Amino acid sequence: MVSERSLQVLRAIVNDYVVHHEPVGSKRIVQKYAFDVSAATIRSDMMALEKAGLITAPHTSSGRVPTDKGYRLHVDTLTRLQPLSAAKKLAIERFLGETHDLDEVLNRTARILSLLTNQVALIQYPGVPSERVRHFDLVQLSANRVLAILVKSSGVVAQQLIVFNADELRHLSLPTVRGQIYRAIIDKDLKAALATLAAEYKNIILPQLPPVAKAPAAIIFDSVCEQLAVSTAAKLKVSGTANISRAAVAELSAEVVLEALEEQVTLLQLFNEFALQQEREISISIGRENETYGLQGTAVLATSYGNANSTGSQLGVIGSLHMDYAENIVAVQAVASYLNKILS
């Protein structure tokens, strides 16, 4: 156990390193922070912190920087969090309240969270039990372009533009195909809709079509199946990836993080683990705690959001170890709270 003053020295080192990204020495702590003790006493506290593995010297005769263990103790002992300013609260409320389309709401939520934290914002799409197909339509935009529109019970609208070769559509009755697909998928949950459409297309729809219509119908069928398959897969909204390259610190591999953001599977696994920790208001994993996912140079903060019509999903940020934990915790919780209000 470290003393209360040593813990305060650790907080000073963490806070200073977050701002300046430079090793912190005892002289700087005495000059900048009101400890009312000598530099020698602060050095003694720093020796105790280093012995406990909470800080380390990156270079000989340099100041000290927090370790993963030091960040963890700092986060676990945070007791007073300053609420967001009234201006920031108003900005969140206005920015998120300007649209009622779920996809756009999540886009805006990710953007505002990345701006508030200067980290990469992540939002897991809300999981809706037995989400169903509410509406389907095919809209011909030109002689060779058709828009496939899929509306889900959650309010998400998926649209896909289908482009045909010249004259292909001339051989196809679009209303007929639209009606066949509509009857196969309407009011079914997404997985059942995909399975039913695949079976009916092969056994019922395709045999009824004239030979010249089979090729364009197959293009539409493949497009709708792709929409349904994507809709059933868990995915993330991501914003602020430029913040990774701006961090440019030794412990953070931008390439590794960007690859995880692109693949998403790793981050979804981490979010799923967070979801099991329901007793925590906010889940935080730091440094080596993320080693299983290959993200040991990062810190991840997340909290759950959702409403009565959805299963719990995660919202949070990923970034460098020396992020401002106190401010980011408050920002993540505030944005999740406003998102819950909108979803309700």
- Residue 81 within any structural domain of the chain: no
- Asked whether the predicted pLDDT for residue 128 surpasses 70, the reply is no
- Total count of domains within the chain: 3
- pLDDT exceeds 80 at position 252: no
Does 217 map to a domain? yes
Q: Is the pLDDT at 139 greater than 90, yes or no? A: yes
Whether 253 and 309 share a structural domain? yes
Closest CA to 331 of 141, 89, 142: 89
Tell whether 152 and 218 lie within a shared domain: yes
Same domain, 181 and 272: no
Distance from C-alpha of 136 to C-alpha of 130, rounded to nearest angstrom: 17
Cβ-in-10-Å burial (0-12, 13-18, 19+) of 309 comes to middle
Please tell me the least confidently modeled range out of 3-17, 46-60, 128-142, 259-273.
259-273
Classified as helix, coil or strand, 159 is strand
pLDDT tens, residue by residue, 274-333:
876 655 689 999 999 988 888 888 999 999 887 655 556 889 999 988 899 999 999 999
Mean pLDDT across the chain? 86
Q: What is the CA radius of gyration of the chain?
A: 26
Tell me if 94 is assigned to some domain. Answer: yes
Identify the CATH number of the domain in which residue 58 sits: 1.10.10.10
Q: What is the pLDDT of residue 7?
A: 92
Co-location of 327 and 272 in the same domain:
yes
| Position 138 in a domain | yes
Same domain as 55, residue 185: no
Instruction: Examine the fold and report which residue of 53, 76, 99 is the final residue of a domain before the chain moves on.
Output: 76
Clarify whether residues 122 and 152 are in a common domain: no
Same domain membership, residue 248 and residue 317:
yes
CATH code where residue 207 lies:
3.30.390
198, 232, 266 — which closes off a domain? 232
pLDDT tens digits along 67-115: 999 999 999 998 778 888 888 888 888 888 877 778 888 999 999 999 9
Per the structure block, which two tokens stand in for 110?
């990710």
Query: Is the same domain home to 99 and 220?
Result: no
Q: Is 162 in the same domain as 42?
A: no
What's the gap between Cα 264 and its chain centre? 9
The whole domain housing 176 covers: 133-232
Q: Are residues 114 and 243 in the same domain?
A: yes
Q: 257 with 318: CB under 8 angstroms?
A: yes
What pLDDT is stored for residue 20 in this prediction? 86
pLDDT digits (tens, 9 = 90+) for 16-66: 998 888 899 988 898 888 788 888 899 999 999 999 999 998 876 678 999
DSSP 69-97: HHHHHHHHT----PPPPHHHHHHHHHHHT
Q: What is the CATH number of the domain that holds 308?
A: 3.30.450.40
Domain annotation covers residue 121 = yes
Residue 212 shares a structural domain with residue 251: no
In this structure, what token pair is assigned to residue 2? 């470290």
Same domain, 66 and 96: no
* pLDDT 10s digits, 180-189: 999 999 999 8
Question: What local confidence, expressed as pLDDT, does residue 79 receive?
Answer: 77
Check whether 342 has a pLDDT greater than 80: yes
Q: What is the pLDDT of residues 146-168, one digit of tens each?
A: 999 999 887 778 889 999 987 88
The confidence score (pLDDT) of residue 99 equals 76
269-287 confidence digits (pLDDT tens)? 788 778 766 556 899 999 9
Q: Which of 170, 205, 232 finishes a domain?
A: 232
Question: In the chain, which residue ranges form alpha helices assigned H by DSSP?
Answer: 4-20, 26-32, 39-51, 68-76, 86-96, 102-117, 174-185, 190-200, 206-208, 211-232, 242-247, 254-263, 265-275, 325-343
